[in-house]
A and B are shown apart, each in its own frame.
Chain A
Amino acid sequence: MQHMPDNDFDKLFRDKFKDAEIEPSMNLWANIEKELEPKRKKVVPIYWMAAATIAVAITAMLVFQKKEVIHLQGADPIAQIQPTTPTDVIATPDDLTQINDQAVKQSIAKVSFATTKVETKATVVLTTDQITEDPKNNQVAVQPNTINDRLLIKPMDPKPLNVEPIKEQVVVENPVVLASLPVDNKVEDVINENSSDRKGIRNVGDLVNFVVDKVDKRDKKLVRFNTDDDDNSSIVGINIGFLKFNKKNKN
């Protein structure tokens, strides 16, 4: 018996299946719908989580704002004095004596400590080393506290000046130069950290700092950016109450 030619055979199948319909089970759509559903629900928690985080951040800000207002007092006058002391010290001996008087008044104990050490040239070098180190140490210790404390410790700078009257000035000048560099840097840092307004608003970091300055009157701001002219800004400090972060503390 002859076989059906392939073409006819193929056509038979093609025609039979062309408009073929088979009714699916009743519950199949429900299954599909169920599988489509979860993707919708997943969207909702994201908004809720965002809202919750914002709420927590705001409440934390409000709660901690009031407590820390007290620390603010006396911050400005200190910032003005600081730059004058190191530069004047280097300039003239006359100024030095004046400052020495102040220093002696403010911290007699410290001065006496310095003078006892100054006996030879070698010890002079030692004291200068101390001076370079002392500001650092002091500032690190001071960081978490208010700026007020920093100035109280500053009077230690004149220490080498006490040495001067005893020895030649040439010896003293070098140490002072050595000492002045790190001191200056520190002073600038302190100023930058506390008054971004002076530079004006040049990038996003400045803008954020400005806004946070206005809103958050605490010593350590909600967010603090370190900014420069090249539009680079990096977070220096965060303070959301329970979460505190300050780059300066790590130095």
Chain B
Amino acid sequence: MKVTKTYTINDLMEGCKAGNRQMQEMLYKQTASKMLAVCMRYAKDRMEAEDVLQMGYIKIFQKVKEYRGEGSFEGWIRRIMVNTAIESYRKNLRTLSIVPIEDAYEQPSQGFDFSSLGMQDLMKVIQKLADGYRMVFNMYIIEGYSHKEIAETLGITEGASKSQLSRARAILQQEIIKMEGFGYATHAG
């Protein structure tokens, strides 16, 4: 473990620029789990996420020479991952399935604690979203793209981006409440 820590991420970056295979592997080992978490948010399942992860790293090693040190190296890697994920989504763009919002939410009678939810739970909920919703939600909420940028990237209108975001939010809340309710139910039972 200490071996990997003797290199800073900038050392690894320089090594990758030189095409050093060992350095590439170390960079991968240091960043892959974070990047898989990014890919998972954009993918339907783990398999799809790992495909994107692999494509992303290939791209990173090919393009690392173009990295000019603007922003952190990890941020640059993450951006490439996100772009790869979006690209992959656009390539096998399934028709944007508009999932109808269920008319009425089942309102839980008592307050519940969202923060008790684990990351894995949230991941499951996100992955359940329709592809279009998931893209917009990830890009806007987590990555911080503007609606304008999202519209341009995904080839939709700004209005569509906004409405998909609010629907995504609604669906997620509903799903989480279901989950919470289930949790309580199991606790109670």
Residues of A within 8 A of B (CB): 1, 3-4, 6, 8-10, 12-14, 16-17, 19-25, 28-29, 31-33, 35-36
Contacts and interface: CB of A to CB of B under 8 A. Distances in A.
B58 interface: yes
Contacts of A23: 33, 36
Contact of B142 (A6, A14, A22, A35): A14
- Chain B contact residues: helix, strand, loop or mixed: helix
A1 B32 contact: no
Contacts of B21: 33, 36
B169 A1 contact: no
B: contact size bracket: 35 or more
Contacts of A29: 25, 28-29, 32
Contact of B34 (A6, A19, A25, A35): A19
A22 B107 CA distance: 32
A149 B108 CA distance: 112
B54 to A, nearest CB: 6
Contacts of B173: 3-4, 9
Nearest to B105: A3
B134 interface: no
Interface in B3-55: 21, 24-25, 28-29, 32-34, 36-37, 40-41, 50, 53-54
Contact of B115 (A12, A19, A31): A12
Given A4-B114, A6-B169, A23-B33, A28 B108 contact: no
25 contacts: A1-B107, A1-B110, A9-B173, A10-B141, A12-B114, A12-B115, A12-B117, A13-B172, A14-B141, A14-B142, A16-B118, A17-B119, A20-B37, A21-B33, A21-B34, A21-B37, A22-B36, A24-B33, A24-B36, A28-B32, A29-B28, A32-B28, A35-B54, A36-B21, A36-B24
B111 interface: yes
Contacts of A21: 33-34, 36-37
A24 B50 contact: yes
A6 B111 CA distance: 16
B25 A16 contact: no
A23 B35 CA distance: 9
Nearest to B41: A17
Of the listed residues A17, A19, A35, the one surrounded by the most CB atoms of chain B closer than 10 A to its CB is: A17
Contacts of B111: 1
B61 interface: yes
A19 to B, nearest CB: 7
Nearest to B28: A29
A136 B155 CA distance: 71
B53 A28 contact: yes
B99 interface: no
A28 B56 CA distance: 12
A32 B58 contact: yes
B58 A35 contact: yes
A22 B25 contact: no
Given A1-B111, A22-B37, A24-B50, A16 B169 contact: no
Interface in B111-157: 111, 114-115, 117-119, 122-123, 141-142
Contacts of A17: 37, 41, 119, 122, 142
A22 B24 contact: no
B54 A28 contact: yes
B141 A36 contact: no
